Amino acid sequence: MSGRRSLTWLGLTPEPERELPSTVAALRSPASDADMTAPGLAAAERRRVERLILHGTERSWLRYLAEVTDLVTAVASGARRGDRAAALLAGEVVLEHHRMLIGLPGTGYGRTAADRRALETAVSSLRRTSPARSDTTPATAEATTPDATNPAGTTTTAAEAPPETPQPPHTPGTRQGRQGGRG
């Protein structure tokens, strides 16, 4: 590579920079209640992520995500007290990010293999043992915000959400796609 830094890692999903600051702040918080997380902790985490994205490298970004992985796996294993719902969200976000590294040039995917395995175990454990969420007790505000795919703003997890599969086009002579009558 020439003297310029590679920016291909910035082309991945924006979810980590959007979801992780408040979630990681909740995991780092000494408070046992996620609602007690100081806004200052989330702001500091947001500044750290912003600094990594604007001035960091793929290696420094992956080091940060390894720290998040350590927090998630510690909460999942019970080695650290923490908000299990926040750990689950952070684990899912980082795991998805690490899975997408396969599409980028370089060694990022290979370097994150151990973290992916640890996150798969932790996420599985957190999904099994996290208390059931209801519409009145969301795990995070982001999980209940109305949007195009969730207009009512009800809480759903990736496991509960219906798969988004495209419907096959209507083929003449089949019943599929008809709204009653002949067509």
In a domain? residue 158:
no
pTM: 0.66
pLDDT of amino acid 146: 39
How would DSSP label each residue in 110-152?
Answer: HHTHHHHHHHHHHHHHHHHHSPPPBTTB-S-SGGG--BTTBTT
115 part of a folded domain = yes
Range of the domain at 70: 8-129
In whole angstroms, what is the distance from residue 103 CA to residue 115 CA?
A: 17
Q: What angle do CA 118, 129, 160 make, to 5 degrees?
A: 90
Residue 178: inside a domain: no
Please give the residue that has the higher pLDDT: either 104 or 175: 104
Residue 132 tokens read as 């059931």
Asked if residue 147 is part of any domain, the answer here is no
For 154-167, write each residue's pLDDT tens digit. 444 444 444 444 44
pLDDT (0 to 100) of residue 128:
94
Report the pLDDT value the prediction gives residue 121, as an integer from 0 to 100. 97
Q: Name the percent of the chain lying above pLDDT 90.
A: 42
95 occurs within a structural domain: yes
Classify residue 134: in a domain, yes or no.
Answer: no
In a domain, 163, yes or no: no
User: How many independent structural domains does the chain possess?
Assistant: 1
Report whether pLDDT(145) > 70: no
Does residue 42 carry a pLDDT above 60?
Answer: yes
Q: Which of 36-40, 61-65, 136-140 has the lowest mean pLDDT?
A: 136-140
